[in-house]
Chain A
Amino acid sequence: MYRSILAAAAAAVVLAGASGAAMAQEKLKIGFIYVGPVGDHGWSYQHDQGRKAIEKEFGSRVETTFVESVSETDAERPIEQLVRTGHKLIFTTSFGFMNPTVKVAKKYPDVRFEHATGYLREKNLATYAAKFHEGRYIIGQIAGKMTKSNVIGYVGAYPIPEVIAGINSYFLGAQSVNPNVKIKIVWANTWFDPGKESDAAKALLDQGVDIIAQHTDSPAPLQTAEQRGKLGFGQASDMERFAPKAQLTAIIDDWSGYYVSRVRAALDGKWESIDTWGGLDTGMVVMAPYKNMPDDVKKLAQDTEAAIKSGALNPFKCPVLGQDGKEIECKGGKSLSDEQILSMNFYVKGIEDKVPQ
């Protein structure tokens, strides 16, 4: 009796193992962790468009799941949950998910992870990001040309390198066409809170800013600019419908191509832990149509976009001066190295503010 139970159990285990393997061959389960809601019209929305592109491309060969509005301080649990429910490729799509992702990745070496905008990699953890700062240089030039008060504003989420590099690139772009321009920066200390983002934009506008750029995820700051008859830029996604009169352009993140290529690699058994940093040239960063501006500004923006795409122009071309006016060491030859940009924690010359520590 005892023996036959054991045998049955053993058979069951073998069967389960076999069917598990067969299942894995049939379907790759892919999980996504988003920091905001899918309906934020911005950052998380764009990642979800990428997820949908995967489903469209691979159909029944894959199964995708997403968990939205995951707190950066409590990400380990939902990531691990995805692992336990059989997901073999997991994308975590916010900088703050870095440490939790590394932790879970170390625990489950047979699961592949991809973390957006971070810098820590493992054998089974790849990283990817987009060179948003390329787009920010273009919108900086537009802002520099379009501002009447010579004071431009920036709503930031958190003082992390990704955002700081964006502010610097934006300001360098503005300075390149308007030496008198000044910038005011407000930190919302949240990625997504439409009310607070809107208050931040109002504070900037009330202090004489007439063009708002944002590095938070909802259309609220842009919409506030529209309401006040001022100008602004869409973030992560084309936000024109929220501010048809105010949106000059938008920096759109297009993750579809990258996600599809990574899933293909995983399905073909060619997935490796790599670091990808795509920009305007690879189509990971796309500019929305240039609107609400005179033709000469539009032409300037288009020329700059083309120059960055072809590699002729780098927003962080040397010399880059720090706030104290001293030249930043040029580790990338003609421009700052990727490493320097990805770990940027200083403002460039002309920004009269301090990086919050």
Chain B
Amino acid sequence: MTLAEAVLLTVITASTPLLIAAIGELLAERAGVLNLGVEGMMAVGAACAFAAAVSLDSTLGGFVAGAGAGMALSLVFAFAVLGVAANQVASGLALTILGLGLSGVIGAPFVGARRDPIAHLSLPGLTDLPFIGRPLFGQDPIVYLSFALAAAMAWFLFRTRGGLTLRAIGEDHASAHALGLPVLKARFLAILFGGACAGLAGAYLSLVYTRFWSPGMTGGRGWIALALVVFAAWRPGRALAGAYLFGLATVLQLHAQAGAIRLPSQLLSAMPYLVTILALVILAARDRRSTGAPASLGIPFVPDR
């Protein structure tokens, strides 16, 4: 295995949770809901997934539980921001704090347990191809799912009637409501989808990335996913590019250090953030169309009956 191939494999693992969480948040924000609770839902997803995988001795069961737990937690958020039209920023932050706390309680009995690695795709002939074999044909199922999610999201948002409706709601919920579009229902579903994705991303952390659980293991990845959505100008393709750019920069800076590149390690550590922000800002600046946030993002909607 060449060094470049090894780097690529590490990048894929590092980027996948970011991509999944970002895609989920992207849909919620396109519908006009800003959910700052990604980090919390991810933490709960990681804890529940690990607990379920160990208890049921099933990795698949773990992923289902992780996604389900993220979704369950997002219900709390949905009730607050849709049910009683609470402030979205405050509710999201509360959700993060709640999630990080809850994850500690859920995971505590499973501290010290470990899981075997997840099965990777293996196609005779293809997986053994030099260089592209392992990255393309030798990944775990969640990696393929993350790409499918990004593609499906792009198709849904820009090629279907449902996507058009959802974007219309995110742009101007009052008009959408006047047209008879189901504002609250669409937002409710988008929040649940975002929660499931965040939970799945968390599950990937505890079941694939490190294969043990410990409190605080999300390490701020939820916040990075949130930032990616903004810098990707709410486009799935760019979110994918951003997640991989971030992953690539993260891994490359570690390699640069191991190769004794004479740059301060603190600067190298900041590289992923700088590179990703810079690249996506340049993209956004070149974009002649609206760079924009959905116009109703973060604004509570109360239907006037």
Q: Is B257 located at the chain interface by the 8 A CB criterion?
A: yes
Q: Is A57 located at the chain interface by the 8 A CB criterion?
A: no
Residues of A within 8 A of B117 (CB): 227
How many A-B contacts if CB must be within 8 Å? 114
Contact A194–B264 (Cβ < 8 Å): no
Q: Is B209 located at the chain interface by the 8 A CB criterion?
A: yes
Residues of B within 8 A of A357 (CB): 264
Q: Is B217 located at the chain interface by the 8 A CB criterion?
A: yes
Q: Is B259 located at the chain interface by the 8 A CB criterion?
A: yes
Q: Which residue of A lies closest to B117 (CB)?
A: A227
Contact B10–A223 (Cβ < 8 Å): no
How near does chain B come to A118, taking the closest CB pair, in angstroms?
21
Known contacts being A37-B104, A41-B111, A207-B3, is A153 close to B214, with CB within 8 Å?
A: no
Contact B260–A194 (Cβ < 8 Å): no
The 8 A CB mask of A244-263 against B (1 = contact, 0 = none) is 00000000000000000000
Q: Which residue of B lies closest to A205 (CB)?
A: B6
Residues of A within 8 A of B74 (CB): none
Residues of A within 8 A of B175 (CB): none
Q: Which residue of A lies closest to B114 (CB)?
A: A242
Which DSSP category, helix, strand, loop or mixed, fits chain A's interface?
mixed
Q: Which of B231-261 contact A (CB under 8 A)?
A: 250-251, 254-255, 257-260
Known contacts being A41-B214, A186-B257, A203-B258, is A195 close to B10, with CB within 8 Å?
A: no
Contact A69–B260 (Cβ < 8 Å): no
Contact A206–B6 (Cβ < 8 Å): yes
Q: Is B265 located at the chain interface by the 8 A CB criterion?
A: yes
Contact A199–B257 (Cβ < 8 Å): no
Complex formed: what's the CA distance from A203 to B215 in Å? 24
Q: Is A26 located at the chain interface by the 8 A CB criterion?
A: no
The 8 A CB mask of B203-231 against A (1 = contact, 0 = none) is 00100011110111101110000000000
Contact A187–B251 (Cβ < 8 Å): no
Chain B interface residue count, Cβ-Cβ cutoff 8 angstroms:
37
Contact A206–B112 (Cβ < 8 Å): no
Q: Is A173 located at the chain interface by the 8 A CB criterion?
A: no
Contact A184–B258 (Cβ < 8 Å): yes
Known contacts being A203-B251, A203-B258, A207-B3, is A196 close to B219, with CB within 8 Å?
A: yes
Complex formed: what's the CA distance from A302 to B265 in Å? 36
Q: Is A50 located at the chain interface by the 8 A CB criterion?
A: no
Of the 9-residue stretches A6-14, A309-317, A322-330, A348-356, which lies at the interface with chain B?
A: A348-356
Contact A204–B258 (Cβ < 8 Å): yes
Taking a contact as CB atoms closer than 8 A, the residue among A192, A202, A207 that contacts B216 in the complex is: A192
Contact A203–B255 (Cβ < 8 Å): yes
Contact A153–B258 (Cβ < 8 Å): yes
Contact A199–B214 (Cβ < 8 Å): no
Q: Is A107 located at the chain interface by the 8 A CB criterion?
A: no
Q: Is A193 located at the chain interface by the 8 A CB criterion?
A: yes
The 8 A CB mask of B1-21 against A (1 = contact, 0 = none) is 001001100100010000000
Residues of A within 8 A of B10 (CB): 199, 202-203, 206
Among B3, B251, B254, find the residue whose CB has the most chain A CB atoms closer than 10 A. B254
How near does chain A come to B232, taking the closest CB pair, in angstroms?
21
Residues of B within 8 A of A142 (CB): none
Residues of A within 8 A of B127 (CB): none
How big is chain A's contact interface, by range?
35 or more
Q: Which residue of A lies closest to B216 (CB)?
A: A37
Residues of B within 8 A of A219 (CB): 212
Contact B254–A186 (Cβ < 8 Å): yes
Complex formed: what's the CA distance from A15 to B267 in Å? 58
Among B14, B107, B255, find the residue whose CB has the most chain A CB atoms closer than 10 A. B255
Known contacts being A194-B209, A206-B6, is A69 close to B216, with CB within 8 Å?
A: yes
Among B3, B212, B220, B251, find the residue whose CB has the most chain A CB atoms closer than 10 A. B212
Complex formed: what's the CA distance from A186 to B250 in Å? 12
Q: Is B291 located at the chain interface by the 8 A CB criterion?
A: no
Contact B221–A195 (Cβ < 8 Å): yes
Q: Which of A2-42 contact B (CB under 8 A)?
A: 36-41
Complex formed: what's the CA distance from A37 to B258 in Å? 28
Known contacts being A41-B112, A206-B255, A207-B3, is A187 close to B214, with CB within 8 Å?
A: no
Taking a contact as CB atoms closer than 8 A, the residue among B214, B215, B251, B258 that contacts A185 in the complex is: B258
Q: Is B108 located at the chain interface by the 8 A CB criterion?
A: yes
Residues of B within 8 A of A193 (CB): 217, 219-220
Contact B210–A199 (Cβ < 8 Å): no
Q: Is B262 located at the chain interface by the 8 A CB criterion?
A: yes
Question: Which residues does A use to contact B, with CB under 8 Å?
Answer: 36-41, 68-69, 153, 159, 184-187, 189-190, 192-196, 198-200, 202-204, 206-207, 209, 218-220, 223, 227, 241-242, 352-354, 356-357
The 7 tightest CB contacts between A and B, nearest first, are: A37-B215, A203-B254, A193-B219, A206-B6, A187-B265, A189-B269, A356-B265
